[in-house]
Chains A and B, each alone.
Chain A
Amino acid sequence: MTTSRWLSAGQLRGLRKVGDIVMPGNDEFPSFSQSGAIAHVDRMLDYVKDSDRDGLRLVFGLFRVLPGPAVRSILALSERHRWLPGPLGAAARQINLGVKGVVFTLYYSDVGSGRSIHELIGYDAKVIAPAVPSGEV
């Protein structure tokens, strides 16, 4: 079972719920939860600003208790940020960027346990590094 230094079990459930709405998967692609990427959430949360982390905790905590269709509606509304006035638009963008930021970063970083997401999307960037390790600069 995934645990996190920063997210409670409930907040992790909220992240998994919204993650599967953002990345539902299909025959070819795993869903967010199937990808296993959530296990690596602390690799990013360790470096996020305290205030941003607090915001994410709040949102994931809320998503845990809301029914799936309500979470989907909030996300869909946040997509319409350009049509929302001033501070409402800014808040919508923050939610949209925050949620998609966590989910996409985990999913497309290809750190999960299942089939390689990079392979599935055809991303094969590489640099062939010399065998000899570098010394200190």
Chain B
Amino acid sequence: MGNEAKTYDAIIVGAGTSGSCVASALSAAGLRCLILEAGKRFARDTYPRAELDANSQLYWGGGIELNTDADIGFLRARVVGGGSIVNQALMDRFDDVALDSWRQRSGVPFFTGEAMAPWYDKAESELCLQYIPTEYRNRNAQIFAEGFAANGYVCAPLRRAQRDCRFQDGNDCIVCLSGCPIDSKQSMPVTVLRRALEAGAELRAETEVLQVAEVDGGVTVTARSAGNGEETYRAGALVLAGGAIGTSSLLLRSGFAARLPLLGRNFYSHPQYMHLAVYDDPVDAHKGPMQSLKSADPNFRRYGFKLENVYAPPVAIAMLLPGFGHAHLERMRRLRQFACIEVSVRDQNPGQVRVDGRGQTVLEKQLDGEDRARRDRGFAAVRNIFLATGAREIVEGSFGISLHLMGGCNMGTDPGTSVVSPEFKLHGCKRIYATDGSIFPDAPGINPALTIMALSWRAGEQIVKDLRA
């Protein structure tokens, strides 16, 4: 680009769930967008397949980032498509419990089921959504269902963004945790991002944004890319969609803490604890649809946890087992006999994203007494399920895994208690927007991706309006 730097109507940081939706909305309206993404761009036949390569090439930090206590690991995608490449594509709307809490905390009037409905409709219309057919449920899901029934708990089928997983061919969805090889999973590159690019949006992968600033009449963005070194881009507006940790740490590195005192605070993550149980017969939890069922028990919701029917590939399972040596190997030899259930905590004690003196991201996140009580109630329910279905041994998860990264730039009407306005602008800025999971006011206790999409469509409409004004 050199001196002939192109200027854009908008620069979008992050080609993940949110960035793709905003880019699509803006480019459909005829605006010139540049999307800058730190991660690589893969296609269905080039996604890394060995767990070693997938962990290192699709995630920040070479696979996992730890909190300061090293008892919670954060999985944060770094790839074109962001979380939509590595996630399980479970798509839920928020219920009144979540939206009422958001409205009360933030003062934002559109956090209601009614006001969000058109945006959820829009988000859903961009994806093919299916329930997992009952006939393909694997034994892990059956154990989940049987254990729920035996204990009088309520569970429900999962809705997933998928088009044609061809379970009849014996396909196993666990493979798609490192990118779907048949483009069935409705990730952003095969849905929304594809449409944004077709409408003229420009995408630069392997380009990490280092600094952003609002200048007279626009914004500047400094980024480092694999081939070209550091470059500065200019635009009329900047949309931050780097995810909760990415957006918060980028703003902190760019010196916004002085004018936004709550920046990086109110960080939530739904810490999840995977429990394994060993059965006499093979369970083959890795076969077919990896997840088919979720808890839908009103008591669980009230107590602040949910259970998920899940599994993970061998490296991840090995890491969850305590010990090493012969005892460890003896357990891994029985991998096919493992069932797995996860407790997901609706965390209410917020953490903080910080940046240290060397510019490194620091994640402070702990469970408080209430969060631990939520987790332990979940543990008790899992034990009941496993014991009711003939488990020989239960390995309780002690390490929290956080996949739902939310907050850090919470939305609200009051600049004293929030970072982003209901118009998706940073308080005190005219041209910088945040649209991703960072704007969540608290932890909803529900899968966040569909709501991130819905809010991003709404933000897209707002940004188009502002840029045309």
Contact = CB atoms under 8 A, between A and B. Distances in A.
Interface stretch (B95-103, B125-133, B241-249, B318-326): B318-326
B159 interface: no
Contacts of A107: 318
A-B pairs, top 4 by smallest CB distance, nearest first, are A47-B56, A109-B52, A48-B62, A93-B70
B253 to A, nearest CB: 15
B322 A79 contact: yes
Contact of A137 (B41, B53, B360): B41
Contacts of B194: 137
A26 interface: yes
Given A44-B63, A47-B63, A105-B315, 17 more contacts: A29-B333, A44-B52, A44-B55, A45-B62, A48-B56, A48-B62, A49-B360, A51-B360, A52-B61, A82-B398, A90-B69, A90-B71, A93-B70, A108-B314, A108-B315, A110-B50, A128-B182
Contact of B326 (A26, A40, A100): A26
A43 B70 CA distance: 24
Interface string A48-76: 11011000000000000000000000010
A114 interface: no
Contacts of B70: 90-91, 93-94, 97
Nearest to B287: A125
B50 A44 contact: no
Contacts of B43: 133-137
A129 B44 contact: yes
B370 interface: no
Contacts of B68: 90
Interface residues of A, number: 55
Nearest to B69: A90
A105 B52 contact: yes
Contacts of B56: 43-44, 46-48
B381 interface: no
A21 B327 CA distance: 12
Contact of B66 (A48, A82, A94): A94
Range for the number of chain B residues in contact with chain A: 35 or more
Interface string A78-112: 01001000000111011001001100111111110
A125 B325 contact: no
B173 to A, nearest CB: 8
B315 A44 contact: no
Interface of B: 41, 43-45, 50-53, 55-57, 61-64, 66, 68-71, 73, 80, 166, 169-176, 180-183, 189-190, 193-194, 197, 282, 286-287, 313-315, 318-319, 322-326, 328-329, 332-333, 335-336, 360, 398
Nearest to B325: A24
B61 A125 contact: no
A23 B324 CA distance: 7
B175 A108 contact: no
A126 B174 CA distance: 8
18 contacts: A22-B328, A23-B329, A26-B329, A28-B333, A49-B62, A52-B61, A75-B324, A97-B319, A100-B318, A101-B64, A101-B319, A121-B332, A123-B313, A126-B170, A127-B173, A134-B45, A135-B43, A137-B189
Contacts of B360: 49, 51
Given A49-B61, A97-B319, A21 B324 contact: yes
Given A90-B68, A100-B324, A123-B335, A29 B52 contact: no
Contact of A97 (B66, B170, B190): B66
B51 A109 contact: yes
Contacts of A117: 314
Contacts of A47: 56-57, 62-63
A125 B175 contact: yes
Interface centre among A79, A127, A128, A134 (most CB of B within 10 A): A127
A19 to B, nearest CB: 10
B52 A111 contact: yes
B302 to A, nearest CB: 29
B329 A127 contact: no
Contacts of A108: 51, 314-315, 318, 332
B356 to A, nearest CB: 10
Contacts of A121: 314, 332-333, 335-336
B107 to A, nearest CB: 37
Given A97-B319, A128-B170, A137-B190, A123 B62 contact: no
A21 B194 CA distance: 48
A125 B180 contact: no
B326 A24 contact: yes
A115 interface: no
Given A29-B329, A108-B51, A108-B315, A126 B175 contact: yes
Given A46-B56, A128-B169, A137 B193 contact: yes
B169 to A, nearest CB: 5
A106 B324 contact: no
